[in-house]
Amino acid sequence: MQIYLDPSGRRGAARSIYDQIRDAIESGVLAEGDLLPPSRELAAELGVSRHTVTTAYGLLVAEGYLAGRAGGGTAVCRTATGRRAADRRSVLVPVEVESAPPTTPPPPTGGVDLRGGQPDPALFPTDEWRRCASATLHRPLPGYGEPAGFESLRQVLAGWIGRSRGVIVDADQIIVTSGAQEAIHLVVRTMLRPGDPIAVEDPGYPPVRLLFEAIGLRVVPVPVDGEGIIVDQIPADVKVVYTTPSHQSPSGVTMSLGRRRALLAFADRHDAAIIEDDYDSEFRHTDRPLEPLHRLDRSGRVAYVGTFSKTLSPSLRLGFVAMPDPLVDAATAWRRLFSVQPSSLGQLTLHRFIEQGHLDRHMRRVSRVYRARHEVVRQFVADGVDAGVLLPGPENHAGLHLSTVLPAGVSEDAIRDGARRRGIAISSFAECCVGPDHPNGLLIGFGMASADVLQRALPDLRRILEQT
């Protein structure tokens, strides 16, 4: 531990050494058995006499904080450890930030996780990622990199989203981010000031809405129907629209082609921008994907956001945004201010991982796994509709969850609580809505549950639906 002495000499050196060592022991910084530096060594480091240090040590030994150790040295005693917590009082008052709505806690140990939007960590390509990371570390990591991300990775990303999603951009339009949330933050920082309106889907993705509110934007919730966000209900003064057209979060609706064109026409009429959050469209299960808004855009109004949180792992904190040209420099400047750059090791490993074809092979493998799980849940929902315990809802063709609609009078909370008692964690629409009037339903995720686990857990959920 580091010991500091008051240069003014207002407090005796021995007393100062005594107080700091005692506080470190009582707060747990020094634990039982930790050795203190020899008195001669500490005296030389602090520029005091050895007698000053031995006086402080002697007081601590007498009070039971320290004891001499066989073979030499002075160590912390067991009886002195953890007598009081460190003093963490502060006069500072934070700016209030609206908290997130209640979210479903994870299941108890050994339970079943049916929460939406979570990939299976067991499917992560650990061996391939480890080899790529190891190869990256054969040479020293660079220092501070480019705020937009390494050019080599941006080149690879431009090629990958071009062939996998039909999004045609140049590498210099891409900014590598720490997940989708940072990408979205960058876009709104370049376009809007506090107080400006921004349209979001309702129901929608809560973390993004809360981010917009936290930075002072005026959030305008816009309802969603079976074709996606209802463009006719977007106010004319909105300058940015946030949407999840490929797999609407949380309903699962795929925005129709007509609605996509209407949204782009709205942006043209009102000189607005669109944030297209394509968070999990890689997992298409039962139909062909529609063209991304970015591909249909003829005016350069769409910022296309992608993430590797669903395809690989949220632990990597890697994503990207393909920016319209006029926003690139401003977004890069903002990036310099608040996060400098994403992890160099993560970027270089991802570059190698994609370049060597591992990502494409991984996507083919996990898509087959998730498609089988999707079919299990889809059949469960269809059987529930036939039995009258569920109502027909929007078609869900993609992603890692399906949405369901509950009959009138059936409580989401009652279903969630009943599932919890059976060791099942499941999400509801209430978590994703701004106002009290929202669809009455559940989100059944299958990212964290294998097909075998789903086959065992879904009958329990069916019984809860029948009994509620």
pLDDT exceeds cutoff 80 at 133? yes
* Residue 326, phi then psi, degrees to nearest 5: -65, -20
- Distances from the Cα of 461 to the Cα of 83, 107, 418, 444, 452, angstroms: 48, 14, 8, 10, 15
Q: What average pLDDT does this structure show over 138-157?
A: 91
- Distances from the Cα of 372 to the Cα of 60, 340, 431, 447, angstroms: 66, 41, 27, 11
Residue 241 DSSP symbol: E
Q: What's the pLDDT score for residue 105?
A: 82
pLDDT exceeds cutoff 70 at 101? no
Q: What's the pLDDT score for residue 87?
A: 58
Q: pLDDT averaged over the chain?
A: 91
Q: Which of 48-62, 104-118, 153-167, 320-334 has the lowest mean pLDDT?
A: 104-118
Q: Mapped to the 3 state alphabet, what secondary structure does 266-333 carry?
A: HHHHHCCEEEEECCCCCCECCCCCCCCHHHHCCCCCEEEEEECCCCCCHHHCCEEEECCHHHHHHHHH
Domains of the chain: 13-80 (1.10.10.10), 112-118+361-467 (3.90.1150.10), 126-356 (3.40.640.10)
Q: What's the pLDDT score for residue 61?
A: 94
Q: What's the pLDDT score for residue 397?
A: 86
Interval 207-228: pLDDT, tens: 999 999 999 999 999 999 999 9
Contacts of 432 (CB under 8 A, 6+ apart): 101, 203, 204, 205, 206, 249, 250, 438
Q: What's the pLDDT score for residue 382?
A: 95
Q: Which of 42-56, 130-144, 182-196, 424-438 has the lowest mean pLDDT?
A: 424-438
Q: What's the pLDDT score for residue 143?
A: 82
Pairing state of beta strands 74-76 and 35-36? antiparallel
pLDDT exceeds cutoff 60 at 102? no
Q: What's the pLDDT score for residue 81?
A: 53
Interval 303-327: pLDDT, tens: 999 999 999 999 999 999 999 999 9
Tokens of 192: 């809007």
Q: Cα(241)–Cα(225) distance, rounded to whole angstroms?
A: 16
Q: Which of 141-145, 173-177, 285-289 has the highest mean pLDDT?
A: 173-177
- pLDDT band at 237; cut points 50, 70, 90: very high
Would you say 201 and 240 are in contact if contact means Cβ atoms under 8 Å apart? no
Q: Cα(395)–Cα(403) distance, rounded to whole angstroms?
A: 8
Share of the chain above pLDDT 90, in %: 72
Q: Strand, helix or coil at 228?
A: strand
Contacts of 413 (CB under 8 A, 6+ apart): 428, 430
> Regarding predicted confidence, which is higher, 387 or 10?
387
Q: What's the pLDDT score for residue 189?
A: 95
pTM of the model: 0.86
Q: What's the pLDDT score for residue 28?
A: 83
Q: What average pLDDT does this structure show over 249-265?
A: 94
Interval 442-465: pLDDT, tens: 999 999 999 999 999 999 999 999
**Residues of 144-178 as b/e, b for ≥16 C-beta within 10 angstroms?**
ebbbbbbeebbbbbbebbeeebebebebebbbbbb
Residues recorded for the chain: 468
- pLDDT band at 108; cut points 50, 70, 90: confident
Q: What's the pLDDT score for residue 26?
A: 87
Q: Strand, helix or coil at 404?
A: strand
> Regarding predicted confidence, which is higher, 26 or 190?
190
Interval 436-448: pLDDT, tens: 677 788 999 999 9
- Distances from the Cα of 245 to the Cα of 52, 116, 297, 378, angstroms: 71, 17, 14, 20
Q: What's the pLDDT score for residue 88?
A: 63
Q: What's the pLDDT score for residue 99?
A: 59
Q: What average pLDDT does this structure show over 232-258?
A: 95
Contacts of 460 (CB under 8 A, 6+ apart): 419, 422, 424
Distance of CA 294 to the CA centre of its chain: 24
pLDDT exceeds cutoff 80 at 183? yes
**Residues of 122-131 as b/e, b for ≥16 C-beta within 10 angstroms?**
ebbbeebbeb
Burial class (CB in 10 A: 0-12, 13-18, 19+), 325: exposed
* Residue 284, phi then psi, degrees to nearest 5: -100, 130
Residue 242 DSSP symbol: E
Interval 190-200: pLDDT, tens: 999 999 999 99
CA atoms within 13 A on the CB side of 382: 8
pLDDT exceeds cutoff 60 at 104? yes
Q: What average pLDDT does this structure show over 230-246?
A: 97
How many helices (H) does the chain have, and how many strands (E)?
Answer: 14, 15
- pLDDT band at 285; cut points 50, 70, 90: confident
Name residue 371's amino acid. R
Phi-psi region of 121 (alpha: psi -120 to 50; beta: other; left: phi over 0): alpha
- pLDDT band at 84; cut points 50, 70, 90: low
pLDDT exceeds cutoff 80 at 288? no
- pLDDT band at 370; cut points 50, 70, 90: very high
pLDDT exceeds cutoff 80 at 76? yes
- pLDDT band at 188; cut points 50, 70, 90: very high
CB atoms within 10 A of CB 290: 17
Check whether the bond before 250 is cis (ω within 30° of 0).
Answer: yes
Q: Cα(217)–Cα(246) distance, rounded to whole angstroms?
A: 25
Q: What average pLDDT does this structure show over 257-285?
A: 94
- Distances from the Cα of 90 to the Cα of 23, 26, 98, 99, angstroms: 18, 19, 22, 22
Q: Strand, helix or coil at 97?
A: coil
pLDDT exceeds cutoff 60 at 100? no
